[in-house]
A and B are shown apart, each in its own frame.
Chain A
Amino acid sequence: EVQLVESGGGLVKPGGSLRLSCAASGFTFSSYSMNWVRQAPGKGLEWVSSISSSSSYIYYADSVKGRFTISRDNAKNSLYLQMNSLRAEDTAVYYCARLVVAATSYYFDYWGQGTLVTVSS
C-alpha cells in the first residue's frame, strides 16, 4: 500500500525557517518524481515545488522561488522541503504528492495527509 506521511509542520515566526519531511513507503520511491502542494486555510490548492526521481530536475512556484528548497534522499525514501524567510502567506497545510509521468499523462496519484505550517508572531 502506497503511503506518504508528512511531518515537521508547526508554528514559526515571520522570517523563520522550517523543514518539512515526507516519508514514503509501499512503492519504489526512487522511480517517481515528487511534489509539494499547499492549501491555505479555506483556500484552494497551490502547487509549490517538484523534484524528479534522481533530483536532476527541480522546479518552484514563483511565490516560493529563492526561499524554499526541495530535496530528496532515495536511500531513506524521503522527500524534504526547506522553507526559509517564511511569511504569513505561507501559512497552509503542505501535502506531498507522488507524480505519475507516462507518455502524455501527468498527474498526482497519491497524496499524504498533510502537515500544517503556521507563520505568525
Chain B
Amino acid sequence: QSALTQPPSVSGSPGQSVTISCTGTSSDVGSYNRVSWYQQPPGTAPKLMIYEVSNRPSGVPDRFSGSKSGNTASLTISGLQAEDEADYYCSLYTSSSTWVFGGGTKLTVL
C-alpha cells in the first residue's frame, strides 16, 4: 500500500491562511482525484472536510478548500479561527480497492 506524506505540523495566527500538503506518487494522487480530507479535534472522531480533491460537503465553511498539483494534494484553510485547531488527515482510495491515510498534520492556531 502506498504512503501519503504530510507535514507533522503547521501553524498560523487567527485570520491567516495555512496550507497542508499531501504528497503521493504519479500512480495514486497524480492519477486519480480520489483524495479526501478529514479534521479531527482532540478526543473526537474524524469529520469529512473535502472529498474528490476539492469538493466541500454541505455544512463545511468555505474557508476550507482543496486542490491538487501533480502528485501533491493540498488543503488550504483561510481566515484561521481558534476552532480550526485539530489534526488533519488526507486519504486516498487506491486502485486495489483499499485505503491509505497520510500521517496527519497537527494545526496549531497561535
Contact = CB atoms under 8 A, between A and B. Distances in A.
Nearest to A97: B46
A107 B36 contact: yes
Given A105-B55, A108-B36, A111-B47, A45 B97 contact: no
B86 to A, nearest CB: 13
Given A50-B99, A59-B98, A61-B98, A45 B46 contact: yes
Nearest to B89: A45
A29 to B, nearest CB: 18
Contacts of A59: 96-98
A61 B87 CA distance: 23
Nearest to A101: B93
Interface string B77-110: 0000000000101010100111111111000000
Contact of A47 (B32, B45, B48, B98): B98
Contact of B89 (A44, A61, A106): A44
Given A106-B34, A108-B38, A113 B98 contact: no
Interface in A21-44: 35, 37, 44
Contact of A104 (B34, B97, B98): B34
Interface in B38-83: 38, 40, 45-48, 51-52, 55, 57
